[in-house]
Amino acid sequence: AMPACDFQPQPHEGPDLQTVKNIRKNKLIPGLITYYKEPVYVHQGHMQYLWDTSGRRYLDLFAGIVTVSVGHCHPTVVAAAEKQLRKLWHTTNIYLHPKIHEYADQLVSKLPGDLKVVYLTNSGSEANDLAVLMARMHTGVFEGISLRNGYHGASPYLMGVTALSTWRYNTPTGFGFHHSVNPDPYRGPWGGKHCRDSPAQPGRPCDCVLGQCQACDLYVDQLEDVLRYSVPKGRVACFIAEAIQGVGGSVQLPDGFLKKAYEKIRAYGGLCIADEVQTGFGRMGSHYWGFESQGVTPDIVTMAKGIGNGFPMGAVVTTPEIAQTMGRALHFNTFGGNPLASAVGSAVLDVIDKERTQALCANLGTYFITELDKLRSEFEVIGDVRGKGLMIGVELVKDKKSRQPLAAEEMASIWEDTKDMGVLIGKGGLYGNCLRIKPPMCITKADVDFSLAVLRCALQKHQDSQ
Q: In this complex, which beta carbon is closest to ligand PMP, that of residue 275 or of residue 373?
A: 275
Shortest distance, position 283 Cβ to ligand PMP, whole Å: 12
Q: In this complex, which beta carbon is closest to ligand PMP, that of residue 191 or of residue 248?
A: 248
Q: In this complex, which beta carbon is closest to ligand PMP, that of residue 241 or of residue 443?
A: 241
Q: In this complex, which beta carbon is closest to ligand PMP, that of residue 277 or of residue 340?
A: 277
- Tell me the window of 29-37, 70-78, 150-158, 359-367 that interacts with ligand PMP (CB under 6 A): 150-158
Q: How far apart are CA 417 and CA 463, in angstroms?
A: 13
Verify binding: residue 278, ligand PMP, rule CB under 6 A: yes
Verify binding: residue 393, ligand PMP, rule CB under 6 A: no
Verify binding: residue 129, ligand PMP, rule CB under 6 A: no
Per-residue binding letters, 329-368, with ligand PMP (x by CB under 6 A):
----------------------------------------
Shortest distance, position 274 Cβ to ligand PMP, whole Å: 10
Verify binding: residue 428, ligand PMP, rule CB under 6 A: no
Residue 196 near residue 203 (C-beta atoms within 8 A): yes
Verify binding: residue 277, ligand PMP, rule CB under 6 A: yes
- Tell me the window of 226-234, 254-262, 270-278, 374-382 that interacts with ligand PMP (CB under 6 A): 270-278
Verify binding: residue 246, ligand PMP, rule CB under 6 A: yes
* Contact pick of 45, 64, 71, 124 for ligand PMP (by CB under 6 A): 124
The phi-psi region of residue 61 (left if phi > 0; otherwise alpha if psi is between -120 and 50; otherwise beta) is alpha
3-state secondary structure the chain: CCCCCCCCCCCCCCCCHHHHHHHHHCCCCCCCCCCCCCCCCEEEEEECEEEECCCCEEEECCHHHHCCCCCECCHHHHHHHHHHHHHCCCCCCCCCCHHHHHHHHHHHCCCCCCCCEEEEECCHHHHHHHHHHHHHHHHCCCCEEEECCCCCCCCHHHHCCCCCHHHCCCCCCCCCEEEECCCCCCCCCCCCCCCCCCCCCCCCCCCCCCCHHHHHHHHHHHHHHHHHHHCHHHCCCEEEECCEECCCCCEECCCCHHHHHHHHHHHCCCEEEEECCCCCCCCCCCCCCHHHHHCCCCCEEEECHHHHCCCCCEEEEECHHHHHHCCCCCCCCCCCCCHHHHHHHHHHHHHHHHCCHHHHHHHHHHHHHHHHHHHHHHCCCEEEEEEECCEEEEEEECCCCCCCECCHHHHHHHHHHHHHCCEECEEECCCCCEEEECCCCCCCHHHHHHHHHHHHHHHHHHHHCC
Shortest distance, position 83 Cβ to ligand PMP, whole Å: 26
* Contact pick of 123, 149, 294, 418 for ligand PMP (by CB under 6 A): 123
Verify binding: residue 434, ligand PMP, rule CB under 6 A: no
* Contact pick of 53, 128, 222, 319 for ligand PMP (by CB under 6 A): 128
Per-residue binding letters, 205-244, with ligand PMP (x by CB under 6 A):
-------------------------------------x--
* Contact pick of 144, 153, 387, 439 for ligand PMP (by CB under 6 A): 153
Q: In this complex, which beta carbon is closest to ligand PMP, that of residue 215 or of residue 316?
A: 316
Shortest distance, position 124 Cβ to ligand PMP, whole Å: 2
- Tell me the window of 44-52, 89-97, 152-160, 398-406 that interacts with ligand PMP (CB under 6 A): 152-160
Verify binding: residue 125, ligand PMP, rule CB under 6 A: yes
* Contact pick of 247, 265, 301, 459 for ligand PMP (by CB under 6 A): 247
Residue 44 near residue 13 (C-beta atoms within 8 A): no
How far, in Å, are 155, 157, 159, 254, 362 from residue 125 at the CA level? 6, 9, 10, 25, 28
Q: In this complex, which beta carbon is closest to ligand PMP, that of residue 311 or of residue 367?
A: 311
Residue facing ligand PMP at closest CB distance: 124
Shortest distance, position 246 Cβ to ligand PMP, whole Å: 4
| Residues at the interface with ligand PMP (CB under 6 A) | 123-125, 128, 151-154, 242, 246-247, 275, 277-278, 304
